[in-house]
Amino acid sequence: MNADELARRCAETMWADDAASRELGMQLRDVAPGRATVAMTVRGDMTNGHGTAHGGFVFALADSAFAFACNSYNERSVAQACDIVFVTPVVDGDRLVAAAAERHRFGRNGIYDVQVTCEGRVVAEFRGRSRTVGGAIVDPD
């Protein structure tokens, strides 16, 4: 199995158990070693008192893309720390796309950047730091 196939198998296995992402209406669009793209449409029940998407839902989308990217090497990884900068608000019906990309892996640590866009405009920038915790996600044989 090559690295792309392994990344896809890891993502499929994780997706099957990821009720949170599925229930929020996310779709896993692409995964490769150190990379993942996840999309979600903002629903009315995701908006706050200002009529814009609650930041927690935008964060959740970025966090899911980060999770699929940092687990793409078949080493169980978790978030060690994350932060997000909200660039512009989004509203009910907006289609968001979170694209995660690995910046560095060293030892048991990784740094990943996730850009969240809506129709080509940047709406948030997320940085996640991962930590491997041991164990494989799938049997690579």
Q: Which domain holds residue 61?
A: 3-132
pLDDT digits (tens, 9 = 90+) for 98-126: 999 999 999 999 999 999 999 999 999 99
Asked whether residue 141 is assigned to any structural domain, the reply reads no
Number of domains present in the structure of the chain: 1
Instruction: Please give the Cα distance from 69 to 134 (Å, whole number).
Output: 16
Burial 109-137 (b: 16+ CB within 10 A, else e): ebbbbbbbbbeeeebbebbbbbebeeeeb
Q: Which pLDDT score is estimated for 133?
A: 96
Q: Which pLDDT score is estimated for 140?
A: 73
Instruction: Please give the Cα distance from 70 to 128 (Å, whole number).
Output: 9
Asked whether residue 89 is assigned to any structural domain, the reply reads yes
Asked whether residue 137 is assigned to any structural domain, the reply reads no
Predicted model pTM:
0.96
Asked whether residue 93 is assigned to any structural domain, the reply reads yes
pLDDT digits (tens, 9 = 90+) for 1-60: 899 999 999 999 999 999 999 999 999 999 999 999 999 999 999 999 999 999 999 999
